[in-house]
């Protein structure tokens, strides 16, 4: 069953770009944006990450943590962060991607007539109590951060 607005966000602990553990429940008391994306340093994923970077001051001003999640490892994340000067945390959800699966963000994808298992581009806003506040299943990578700020009436 897909996550619904108001559901408790599945808790997790994943390694970040430095290999340090990040636990979602430890961020209670603030909003958290979880954005699942397929792969570091690819065109769509770079547009999405750079949109969060470009809107970073608004997220920071409102005390909103941003966590990007893909199956890429810590060293790939570290390079991606350095290359594009990303000010937020990237987490590794290694195959079989149990965290992404718990959010309905890992599964069968179709691209150019071929099917494969992979990370889906989905975004969730988790409120200060740890509940799903917004869920974006159809994501426009280049404007995801803008869309969240508008939808939360923060701009």
CATH of the domain at 107: 3.40.30.10
The boundaries of the domain holding residue 89 are 29-151
State the Cα–Cα distance between residues 145 and 10, nearest whole angstrom: 22
Residue 20 domain flag: no
List residues with catalytic annotation: 45
Q: What is the mean pLDDT of each run of 10 residues along the chain (155 residues)?
A: 89 97 97 97 96 97 97 97 98 94 90 85 97 95 96 90
Residue 16 domain flag: no
The sign of the CA dihedral 93, 40, 87, 18 is: positive
How many angstroms from the chain centroid is the CA of residue 137?
A: 12
**Number of folded domains that form the chain:** 1
Residue 55 domain flag: yes
Residue appearing with tokens 């000010």 = 87
């Amino acid at each position: 069953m897909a996550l619904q607005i108001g559901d408790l966000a599945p808790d997790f602990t994943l390694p970040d770009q430095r290999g340090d553990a990040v636990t979602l429940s430890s961020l209670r008391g603030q909003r958290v944006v979880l954005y699942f994306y397929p792969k570091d340093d690819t065109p769509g994923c770079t547009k999405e990450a750079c949109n969060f970077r470009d809107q970073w001051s608004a997220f920071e001003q409102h005390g909103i943590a941003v966590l990007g999640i893909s199956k890429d490892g810590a060293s790939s994340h570290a390079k991606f962060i350095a290359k594009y000067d990303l000010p937020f945390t990237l987490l590794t959800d290694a195959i079989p991607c149990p965290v992404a699966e718990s959010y309905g963000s890992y599964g069968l994808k179709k691209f150019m007539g071929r099917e494969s298992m992979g990370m889906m581009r989905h975004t969730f806003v988790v409120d200060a109590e740890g509940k799903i506040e917004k869920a974006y299943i159809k994501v426009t990578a280049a404007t995801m951060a803008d869309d969240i700020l508008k939808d939360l009436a923060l701009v």
